[in-house]
Structure 1
Amino acid sequence: MSDLGTQPDRGSDVDDGYRMPRAVRAAQLLALGLALLGIACTASSGWLLGTRPALATAIPFVPGLLLGLVALTFNSEGQSVRIGAILVAAMNMLWTVPSVTDGRPPGPLGPIVSLAVIVLLFRREARDWFEPQGW
């Protein structure tokens, strides 16, 4: 018998309809990475320099932390999660521009990651992922 007509076993109960697209996964990883970087920078600043410098370091990361929290909800259904993430990423981009000129964290990483998250969430596969099934 020939094996030309058979599909390889992809594992038990694996359905492509429930698998997160690469664009959404990349946006989620970028947002979570920025949030973790904010936590690490704030913790190290507090440990090395004290409370006041830690607060000054934490303020530019506030929208990045919010974006990381929104990224944790990317498995839920609905366009509001995607639109909320895009709006928080836009707020993060505008919020972190002064840190580029001042030489403080997150520097150019904040606007770059935010722009990448916005572009990834505007892709067609991301819109299809968040769109509920009957719309």
Structure 2
Amino acid sequence: MSDVGIPPDQGSGVDDTYRMPRAVRAAQLIAVLMTLVGALCTASSGWLLGGRAAIMTAVPLLPSFMLGLVALTFQSVGQSVRIGAILLAALNMLWTVPSITDGHPPGPLGPISSLAVIVLLFRREARDWFEPDDW
């Protein structure tokens, strides 16, 4: 800041209005990484044990794959994207709990990552990002 209290010019085109908040970016990163882990587990299972094993590995990860696709649309505006991601994360959490006791992927990583996505998307900055005041 200068001595007169005027903030310095940040340059042309710099505006924080359209910058994704950290909570939304973290939720997006967790969801996409979980999808990549699921794809890696499915591919390695198919390569090592065959197609049937790959299908058996991919079935518990279906909500995770859908959550990863929805997370890629977080740049769009609208509460429906946020609510859809929260519902898919809840479905993923419930869907992957049996994999903990069965010893299949994703194990405890599925419910933990889903809970983290839900908590991050319920934060105020996430709600404000998906539905700005000027709409």
Partner of 1:88: 88
Whether contact under 8 Å (2:2, 2:8) holds in the other structure is no
What letter matches 1:96 in structure 2?
T
The list of structure 1 runs, each at least 4 consecutive aligned residues, that deviate by more than 4 angstroms after superposition, is 2-12
TM-score normalised according to structure 2 size: 0.92
Partner of 2:49: 49
What letter matches 2:64 in structure 1?
G
Partner of 1:122: 122
Per-residue Cα deviation, 1:24-45 (whole angstroms, up to 9, x for no partner)? 0000000000000111000011
Q: How many residues align?
A: 134
| Structure 2 gap segments, 5+ residues each | none
Partner of 1:67: 67
Partner of 1:37: 37
Whether contact under 8 Å (2:76, 2:130) holds in the other structure is yes
**Cα distance in 2, alignment partners of residues 105 and 99 from structure 1:** 6
State the identity as a percent.
74
**Aligned-residue offset at 1:13:** 1.1
**Cα distance in 2, alignment partners of residues 88 and 124 from structure 1:** 20
Whether contact under 8 Å (2:77, 2:130) holds in the other structure is yes
TM-score normalised according to structure 1 size: 0.92
1:91/1:6 Cα in 2 relative to 1: closer, same or farther (>3 Å)?
Answer: same
| Structure 1 gap segments, 5+ residues each | none
**Aligned-residue offset at 1:6:** 6.1
Aligned Cα RMSD in Å?
1.7
1:39/1:18 Cα in 2 relative to 1: closer, same or farther (>3 Å)?
Answer: same
**Cα distance in 2, alignment partners of residues 114 and 90 from structure 1:** 7
